[in-house]
Structure 1
């Protein structure tokens, strides 16, 4: 509903500058890509686009109870993919999906993994004391939107299995769920609370609203394991932030999580979405947590903001010097 207003604001921003003020346009998500497409044609500069999520991929991997992305989004994404001068994929898997599902020109697709703020998300002592968490607590953490796609219910079910395996864990276990209902999760905003009651673990679960990154970092540090059980992730930045803080991750073996988590090194990847399998993976990580924690920090260090921005700047330069903009007299040079 705000697309026209957004387009107007973008064009006004450019009109307030001297001609040639902008060298490239980098749009994020398909709606911004539609605006970027118009601006690219008006300004004669390259359009670089990051999809972040792809409707066709999401629809192919729908969680139970989730609703498919509309046809209008699929068409919009197809248009942006066809028009963009460069397409930025988070992983090699996403790059392949752009080619396979959207008929993207492979020569235009570049893989640039997202980065994490390693100054903010890093190991630090005292997180449990700051949060009032006992030193001997077993802390499991979920961070993300509360919707079927993200599968936060799977963490609650896995926690219930852990307690069933070892009832002595009940008094020590704390399950933090950080996030708010989104998308189809808005249809049943209290469903997780109801599930916790049904599973008999409501007294062990703490629901927290989205919070500033500095506060979130302490929850990562306080956790023994962060669980990312999504049905699909284009990358999985939560997994990377947790590892940067020294917390190993148990995640679904889907999409970008295969890149974000080094399976068997910084955490464990789980096939499918069965709660007992997640409970087993959590148990394995806890059995050698110190080693997983060290490896998590090492793995996350490879995904710095400096690396990401350097690769993006290379992509911008590549687009600016490409045939359409570096030498073609039919279009103005950037």
Structure 2
């Protein structure tokens, strides 16, 4: 890091989900993995990281030394239970107040930089940035305007409250970190972001944990038949992730399979608008007549998840929207090809025709045809898997950390305090450190 400005202490804000939560449960997913993996690696580079997240249990300690150089602060804001993510905007005042109090108890200049994750955290980071006089780096992870443009059937559009909140954070942040160049273009085109403040930082995978291994050993550990042909879905069970699309696409292939070996494995728990969906998927499997060929597993710890990938012949990511798609990279790192929707960052994560295949749209017939074509050629699948492991080596968390530190350097060098950012797409103009809606 010679010649770069390295923050001594980073305030990392993740309001709605803790990096200590199990991915695949509640609102925990790729964002949790991203926060934890980058925080621990930043700490190894000499940056002290303090993560602020909302307390969701009375058992949460106010401060937890989660790893060397990484502290997780559980911030009280609202009731522990029964608070949906859509209710959290009403608790941002309480959350922000407690974050500011934590800093006020320290010597002046305690934090050098703020990095907020998701728009709720960006709202808190914006306030803290102005109070502390340090730069704000923001990662959206998902964008309401993008999600609303490709809603799943039965899903609910993101509210205007979020769209406006995102616009405010885009206007205010000193640097905007995106997962792919496509996401950067979306920020510019849909939110009027200044391209000179956008940094592309590609997420990674834990390549020490996710690596090729024995398929037979993995199936034995998970209690799966060694002779099955296994297609796997991993993720939160919600309309956005489209597990129902995969289930419907698999059904005719299962009925046509005379060997009785074709099976779908669904790994994950309910989330957000997907509350109750595991039961809905079970009912759908019964309706389609494939109950006996579908296995449901709860969210898996990282080491067990690696075994899930290794046990699979093909991993599918049929999401309607993905800013990147960590599941796709993790599966490929284990040497497993991926069938994914041709959306968002999945176009970067998967090398179409080389390490897997991308499907345009979510038509069931198209997904069935793509599955049938891949599963009919085991030799091609194996070759894709070998190339997938090599492809995934480009996506390491060390590379991600390098790029984040470069973004932090630009934020520290270019920071000039509170100042106007012009007018965004929704007429939000900053005046003397405040934001107002112009008409």
The TM-score with structure 1 as length reference comes to 0.93
Shift of 1:189: 4.9
SS in 1 for 2:407: helix
Separation of aligned partners in 2, 1:6 and 1:296:
42
- Within a 5 Å distance, the mapping from 1:1-334 to structure 2 comes to 1-125=90-214, 126-164=217-255, 166-169=256-259, 171-186=260-275, 188-286=277-375, 287=377, 288-322=380-414, 324=416
Shift of 1:61: 0.8
User: Does structure 2 conserve the Cα–Cα contact (< 8 Å) formed by 1:52 and 1:90?
Assistant: yes
Q: Which string of whole-angstrom CA distances, capped at 9 and with x for unpartnered residues, describes residues 182-240 of structure 1? A: 22222655211111001110111111221211111111110110111111111111111
SS in 2 for 1:81: helix
Separation of aligned partners in 2, 1:151 and 1:323:
41
Gap regions ≥5 residues in structure 2: 1-89, 418-432, 434-439
Gap regions ≥5 residues in structure 1: 326-330
SS in 2 for 1:175: strand
Give the length in aligned residue pairs: 325
User: Does structure 2 conserve the Cα–Cα contact (< 8 Å) formed by 1:250 and 1:278?
Assistant: no
In structure 2, what is the equivalent of residue 328 of structure 1?
none
SS in 1 for 2:332: helix
**Greater percentage in strand:** 2
Q: Indicate how the Cα distance of structure 1 residues 188 and 219 shifts in structure 2: closer, same or farther if over 3 A, else same.
A: closer
SS in 2 for 1:268: strand
SS in 2 for 1:324: coil
The TM-score with structure 2 as length reference comes to 0.71
Separation of aligned partners in 1, 2:258 and 2:368:
15
Separation of aligned partners in 2, 1:129 and 1:207:
17
Separation of aligned partners in 2, 1:70 and 1:239:
29
User: Does structure 1 conserve the Cα–Cα contact (< 8 Å) formed by 2:338 and 2:355?
Assistant: yes
Superposition CA RMSD, Å = 1.7
**Greater percentage in helix:** 1
